[in-house]
């Protein structure tokens, strides 16, 4: 009986092999343990959905008449990068009598191994092991608790459901919107996605709220008292009764917006002349260190402190983990560490002391007996937070400047866990003046604690709840000198005028923060709670996108020119705003994610089947496509003159990426023309068609080669099966050799010294 573990990633496979066997040998694509157990791995998903044209050849050409596309059930195929490893697993499955699914303990981890078994039609016994900690002790404990894989089929189906919806929705809506827009003169692709378009909606909504904001005044009423040579300032806290009595005189934050009312209240306070201290509260507030980094919080911090793009930070963490072995798994949405990892603190702090000079002065003051809330097994599902590793062979000289910065941020957060809490003295005092309540508060730092290692530029992104009262007024006297029941003379009752401010434009930091808390924009409480419940043990709080996908989604919005940078802000482009206006409202709201999360939850609970789910997806997507086809898109700023192809009279389309005009009837018509000042040069000499030859294409072995000649006399051969086959060759001494295309590189001028 041969047992085969299939891990989600190579590092987990190595941890499993080390946990179940004292000795093992690494083969090509798997590990063989001393007892004969085999351990292999995936690289995340080894399979992907096939493109639409593989489902139906009619979909090879984008055509509005073929929309909506009927794509289900969607076949899968190995990705190009994973084909070799997929083939290794195929061979191992033929030998295995017992397979253990060792994907990450979440729906996606379950699915990516299940799809391997389904693709290769494995019929043997299958178990499931749940490993979230690569520590050898934790691995051995998990391996001792293997459960039947069938128990986890529902969550596998929920992950499949998510992928199906995103694929069918994205493919259909992107093609439909792009084709409708292109008929209006738009050059390019209007990419639609469940998460991507909702993010665009957030950016547009915030931008418009900022620009349309009208500054309005509001007024704070104060009671100023003097006692023992100190001045005390108390601010009026309007009661619910007062606000409800004059609802039109207060804004949504219960601030007085009517100056006449504010003057009346101030006059009343002056007439009273005295106020009674009705309550006092003085305490020492201990502020615990911030939690370790999830990928998203690290991306936010690196962007805010060092201006690093979020995809750059993702790339850096990948290098720090895979090449330098300095950090643990990076694509995590968790901010907690396994309880057992607390014992690693002395070793990890010693490593930090050796590798991070800026932290060396503080390491002697760390206390590894401190065990803060960051160590919590109950908060960990698939992965734990990012933490440094014990890497005795590491050399910081091998790191780039940006890599050192990100590594130091991670080490700084980890080191803070073993420093004392920061302490503030917080005082809150309430004073009654007639029928009105006034408040004052004061916060003073007593001990910096862990904050000593964070300077102003590199402070933490998490909110620090220091219990300061927003009703307080800075500059008030020592509130600890006041006692309950004491009366104070009121010397003045001034007004302070303020002005409302618009919602701040997004920065990359605040956009990421809102993406991870997007549920707050859902008005339907039931739908909002669906996302909040999903993320209850996650670093997200009703978020959209995952830490592993957010960078790519935002990059796509930039590449499609839907959003752009303005100074340090993220704002929509003109076409981004028009696209937002043109799409159905459901497409640009977070509600769509919540609704389909509910459908996926039904799959996870087994209350609906994948077939029923697919029927709902098809019905929903078809309705959305017909909506766009019938009602069109309200896109105006991209209209341009239509140009017809001189050869077949079809419309010419501007290929913005490569700056030329191509016939929309391609590949039936291959006419193309250079761009001159935004117009096709129809007088340019058309490219000569390839001369047919008897040579078979060595690359695809299906089509003949065509002989081509450049303006400068260079001769080469290209496959007539283009674009399916992109083989290009030269004929040298009667032998066809692949033609290598060299990218143009910029020459750097050197100045003479």
Q: Say which range, 1-15, 218-232, 687-701, has the weakest mean pLDDT.
A: 687-701
Contact predicate 423/307, CB 8 Å: no
Q: What is the pLDDT of residues 242-277, one digit of tens each?
A: 999 999 999 989 999 999 999 999 999 999 999 999
CA dihedral 176, 182, 187, 189 (to 10 degrees): 0
Is the per-residue pLDDT at 564 higher than 60?
yes
At residue 455, the pLDDT reads: 64
661 or 129, which is more confident?
129
At residue 749, the pLDDT reads: 39
Please give the Cα distance from 222 to 496 (Å, whole number): 8
At residue 747, the pLDDT reads: 37
Quote the pTM value. 0.77
Contact predicate 341/133, CB 8 Å: yes
List of residues 6+ apart from 172 with CB closer than 8 A: 67, 68, 69, 71, 621, 624, 625
User: What whole-number percentage of the chain has pLDDT above 90?
Assistant: 65
Q: What is the pLDDT of residues 471-507, one digit of tens each?
A: 444 568 899 999 999 999 999 999 999 999 999 999 9
Give the pLDDT mean for 4-16: 93
Q: Would the CA dihedral through 378, 383, 386, 391 be positive or negative?
A: positive
At residue 262, the pLDDT reads: 97
- Split at pLDDT 50, 70, 90, the class of 742 is very low
Q: What is the pLDDT of residues 365-399, one digit of tens each?
A: 999 999 999 999 988 887 899 999 987 677 888 89
At residue 155, the pLDDT reads: 94
Q: Which alpha helices (DSSP H) does 606-671 contain, by range?
A: 610-631
At residue 592, the pLDDT reads: 94
Please give the Cα distance from 82 to 47 (Å, whole number): 8
Q: What is the pLDDT of residues 671-713, one digit of tens each?
A: 888 877 667 888 776 665 677 787 888 888 888 888 877 655 6
657 or 676, which is more confident?
676
Please give the Cα distance from 483 to 279 (Å, whole number): 8
How is residue 350 written in tokens? Answer: 């010693």
At residue 219, the pLDDT reads: 97
At residue 752, the pLDDT reads: 38
How is residue 552 written in tokens? Answer: 């790519």
Q: Is 696 helix (H, G, I), strand (E, B) or coil?
A: strand
At residue 713, the pLDDT reads: 64
Structural domains in the chain? Answer: 3-46+82-145 (3.40.50.140), 164-211+505-631 (1.10.460.10), 217-288+423-499 (2.70.20.10), 295-420 (1.10.290.10), 691-738 (no CATH)
Share of the chain residues as helix, strand and coil, in percent rounded to the nearest 5: 40, 20, 40
Is the per-residue pLDDT at 525 higher than 60?
yes
Q: What is the pLDDT of residues 395-420, one digit of tens each?
A: 888 899 999 999 999 999 999 999 99
CA atoms within 13 A on the CB side of 151: 10
At residue 472, the pLDDT reads: 43
Per-residue b or e along 193-209, where b marks 16 or more CB atoms closer than 10 Å to that residue's CB: bbbbbbbbbbbbbbbee
**Cα 678 to Cα 187, 575, 653, 666, 675, distances in angstroms:** 11, 18, 12, 21, 6
Q: What is the pLDDT of residues 274-316, one digit of tens each?
A: 999 999 999 999 999 999 999 999 999 999 999 999 999 999 9
**Cα 254 to Cα 218, 257, 435, distances in angstroms:** 10, 9, 17
Q: What is the total residue count of the chain?
A: 753
How many CB atoms neighbour CB 642 within 10 A? 10
Task: Give the DSSP H or E segment for 102.
Answer: strand 98-102
List of residues 6+ apart from 694 with CB closer than 8 A: 704
Please give the Cα distance from 263 to 254 (Å, whole number): 16
Task: Give the DSSP H or E segment for 352.
Answer: helix 345-355
Is the per-residue pLDDT at 571 higher than 60?
yes
Please give the Cα distance from 330 to 134 (Å, whole number): 14
Active-site residue, selected from the candidate residues 232, 329, 407, 506: 329
At residue 184, the pLDDT reads: 78
**Residue carrying the six token digits 């009279």:** 649
- Split at pLDDT 50, 70, 90, the class of 133 is confident
Label residue 650 left, alpha or beta by phi (over 0 means left) and psi (-120 to 50 means alpha). Answer: beta
Q: What is the pLDDT of residues 317-362, one digit of tens each?
A: 999 988 888 999 898 889 999 999 999 999 999 999 999 999 999 9
CA dihedral 709, 715, 718, 720 (to 10 degrees): 50
Please give the Cα distance from 9 to 132 (Å, whole number): 12
Please give the Cα distance from 163 to 165 (Å, whole number): 6
**Residue carrying the six token digits 């000593």:** 452
- Split at pLDDT 50, 70, 90, the class of 658 is low
At residue 656, the pLDDT reads: 56
Query: DSSP secondary structure string, 224-254?
Result: EEEETTEEEEEEE---HHHHHHSGGGB-TTS
At residue 730, the pLDDT reads: 83
Please give the Cα distance from 718 to 720 (Å, whole number): 6
* Nearest C-alpha neighbor of 103 from the set 54, 62, 58, 159: 159
667 preceded by a cis bond (ω within 30 of 0): yes
Is the per-residue pLDDT at 468 higher than 50?
no
5 is catalytic: no
Compute the mean pLDDT over every residue in the chain, rounded to the nearest whole number: 88
């Amino acid at each position: 009986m041969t047992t085969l573990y299939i891990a989600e990633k190579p590092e987990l496979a190595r941890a499993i092999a080390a946990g179940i066997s004292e000795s093992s040998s690494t083969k090509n694509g798997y590990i063989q343990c001393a007892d004969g157990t085999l351990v292999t791995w995936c690289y995340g998903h080894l399979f992907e959905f096939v493109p639409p044209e593989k489902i139906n050849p009619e979909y090879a050409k984008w055509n509005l008449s073929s929309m909506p596309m009927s794509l289900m059930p969607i076949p899968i195929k190995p990705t190009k990068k994973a084909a070799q490893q997929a083939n290794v697993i195929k061979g191992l499955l033929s030998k295995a009598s017992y397979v253990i699914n060792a994907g990450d303990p979440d729906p996606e981890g379950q699915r990516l191994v299940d799809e391997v078994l389904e693709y290769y039609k494995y019929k043997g016994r299958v178990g499931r092991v749940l490993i979230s900690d690569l520590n050898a002790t934790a691995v051995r404990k998990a391996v001792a608790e293997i459960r039947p894989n069938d128990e986890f089929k529902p969550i596998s189906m929920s992950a499949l459901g998510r992928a199906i919806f995103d694929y069918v929705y994205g493919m259909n809506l992107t093609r439909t919107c792009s084709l409708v827009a292109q008929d209006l003169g738009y050059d390019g692709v209007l990419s639609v996605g469940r998460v991507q378009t909702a993010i665009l909606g957030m950016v547009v909504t915030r931008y418009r709220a900022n620009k349309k904001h009208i500054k309005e005044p509001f007024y704070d009423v104060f009671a100023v008292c003097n006692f023992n040579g100190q001045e005390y300032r108390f601010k009026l806290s309007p009661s619910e009764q007062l606000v409800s009595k004059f609802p039109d005189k207060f804004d949504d934050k219960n601030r007085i917006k009517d100056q006449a009312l504010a003057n009346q209240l101030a006059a009343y306070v002056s007439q009273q002349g005295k106020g009674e201290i009705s309550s006092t509260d003085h305490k020492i507030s201990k502020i615990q260190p911030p939690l370790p980094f999830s990928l998203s919080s690290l991306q936010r911090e690196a962007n805010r402190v060092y201006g690093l793009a979020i995809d750059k930070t993702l790339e850096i963490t990948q290098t720090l983990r895979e090449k330098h072995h300095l950090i643990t798994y990076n694509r995590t949405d968790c901010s907690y560490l396994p309880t057992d990892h607390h014992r690693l603190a002395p070793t990890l702090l010693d490593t930090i002391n050796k590798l991070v000079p800026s932290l060396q002065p503080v390491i002697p003051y760390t206390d590894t007996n401190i065990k803060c809330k960051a160590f919590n097994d109950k908060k960990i599902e698939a992965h734990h937070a990012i933490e440094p590793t014990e890497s005795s062979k590491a050399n910081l000289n091998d790191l780039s400047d940006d890599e050192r910065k990100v590594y130091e941020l991670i080490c700084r957060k980890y080191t803070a866990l073993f420093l004392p809490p920061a302490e503030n003295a917080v005082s809150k005092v309430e004073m009654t003046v007639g029928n009105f309540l006034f408040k004052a508060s004061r916060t003073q730092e007593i001990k910096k604690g862990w904050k000593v290692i964070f300077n102003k530029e590199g402070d933490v992104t998490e909110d620090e709840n220091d219990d300061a009262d927003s009703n307080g007024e800075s500059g008030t006297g020592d509130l600890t000198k006041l006692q309950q029941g004491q009366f104070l003379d009121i010397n003045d009752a001034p007004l302070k005028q303020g002005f409302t401010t618009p919602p701040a434009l997004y920065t990359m930091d605040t956009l990421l923060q809102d993406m991870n808390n997007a549920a707050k924009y859902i008005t339907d409480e039931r739908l909002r709670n669906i996302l909040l419940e999903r993320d209850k043990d996650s670093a997200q709080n009703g978020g959209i996108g995952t830490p592993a996908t957010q960078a790519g989604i935002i990059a796509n919005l930039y590449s499609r020119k839907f959003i752009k940078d303005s100074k340090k802000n993220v704002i929509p482009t003109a076409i981004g705003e028009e696209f937002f206006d043109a799409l159905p409202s459901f497409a640009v709201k977070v509600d769509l994610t919540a609704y389909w999360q509910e459908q996926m939850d039904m799959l996870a609970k087994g209350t609906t089947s994948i077939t029923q789910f697919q029927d709902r997806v098809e019905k929903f997507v078809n309705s959305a496509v017909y909506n766009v086809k019938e009602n069109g898109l309200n896109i105006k700023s991209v209209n341009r003159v239509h140009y017809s192809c001189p050869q077949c009279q079809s419309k010419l389309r501007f290929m913005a990426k490569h700056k030329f005009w191509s016939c929309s009837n391609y590949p039936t018509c291959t006419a193309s023309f250079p761009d001159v000042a935004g117009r096709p040069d129809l007088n340019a000499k058309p490219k000569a068609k390839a001369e047919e030859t008897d040579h078979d294409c060595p690359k695809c072995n299906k089509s003949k080669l065509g002989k081509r000649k450049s303006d400068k006399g260079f001769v080469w051969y290209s496959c007539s099966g283009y674009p399916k086959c992109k083989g290009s060759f030269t004929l040298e001494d009667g032998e066809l050799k692949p033609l290598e295309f060299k990218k143009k590189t910029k020459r750097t001028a050197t100045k003479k010294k």
